[in-house]
Amino acid sequence: MSQEAKFAVGQKVRVKANVIVYHHPQHKGKPYDLTGQVGEVVEVIETWQGRPLTANLPIVVKFEGKFKAHLEADELEPVV
């Protein structure tokens, strides 16, 4: 079972690793740490046009508002 497989679309997750992004809508162009943020998995990228794909950041998580980020499975933990 791949690490991505333990996360399903619709699942609530929390960012457990120190992840810095520069595209957060309220902090455009400035470093913003996602650690502790809770969001919902909206996509797990495993195939493209029917072929297996090994994406570097395969889990797409939607946070507050329209903000989305691509993350790795080891950067996330399920929210119970």
The three-state secondary structure class of 70 is strand
Q: What is the architecture of the domain spanning 4-78?
A: Roll (2.30)
On the 0-12 / 13-18 / 19+ scale of CB atoms within 10 A, 72 is middle
Residue-level pLDDT at 6: 87
Q: What is the pLDDT of residues 25-80, one digit of tens each?
A: 999 899 999 999 999 999 999 998 999 988 899 999 999 999 999 999 999 999 98
Of 46, 50, 21, residue with least CA distance to 34: 21
CA angle 26, 69, 8 (to 5 degrees): 135
Q: Model-level pTM?
A: 0.88
Q: Where are the domains of the chain?
A: 4-78
Residue 5: pLDDT over 80: no
